[in-house]
Amino acid sequence: MRLTNLLTAATIALLAQAPAARAQQAAPSPIEVTQAWARATPAGAQVGAGYLTVTNHGAEADRLIGGSADVADKIEVHEMNMDNGVMKMRELPDGLAVKPGESVELKPGGYHLMLTGLKGGLKEGEHFRAQLEFAKAGKAEVEFVVQGVGAAMAPATGDMHHHH
Ligand SMILES: [Cu+2]
């Protein structure tokens, strides 16, 4: 009798868990990407810059490590900072950390996505899709809007890019 009760309890526990496990698999990514935009490039440009805000709604830290898009060969995550009075940028080898419950803004003069090997340039008003890659959350499909060259009060550092 006691054994039966235990088994019944175990069965109920399993049944109760099953839908939860399914729901977890289908749950939306804890990573939310908003305000994705890219700066228009001059004709013939090989590189472009993309910006966005990443919010981590999950309980674990994650990292934005790169991505891909049809309009470019590759998307890298870069950081821009002052080095002896000169603005420089470098690729973040481990990606950009996004702590649980926090948002990180990629914006002109700071963190940005570098679109390398641009295929046809980025024209103001156009949209393009990209797949961003996160270390834990995996891929995230994001649509970028291309804004004017001087959008968002971009500092005059865009031409000092190390890829030139
Ligand atoms: Cu860069």
Name the CA dihedral angle for 155, 157, 163, 164, rounded to a multiple of 10 degrees. 130
Assign domain 31-160 one CATH number from 3.10.129.10, 2.60.40.1890, 2.120.10.30, 1.20.120.160: 2.60.40.1890
What is the CA(80)–ligand 1 centre distance, in A? 7
What is the CA(162)–ligand 1 centre distance, in A? 7
What is the CA(27)–ligand 1 centre distance, in A? 33
pLDDT digits (tens, 9 = 90+) for 107-160: 999 999 999 999 999 999 999 999 999 999 999 999 999 999 777 643 344 444
What is the CA(37)–ligand 1 centre distance, in A? 15
With pLDDT > 70 as the criterion, what percentage of the chain qualifies?
75
pLDDT digits (tens, 9 = 90+) for 145-162: 999 977 764 334 444 444
pLDDT digits (tens, 9 = 90+) for 52-98: 999 999 999 999 999 999 999 999 999 998 888 998 999 999 999 99
What is the CA(89)–ligand 1 centre distance, in A? 5
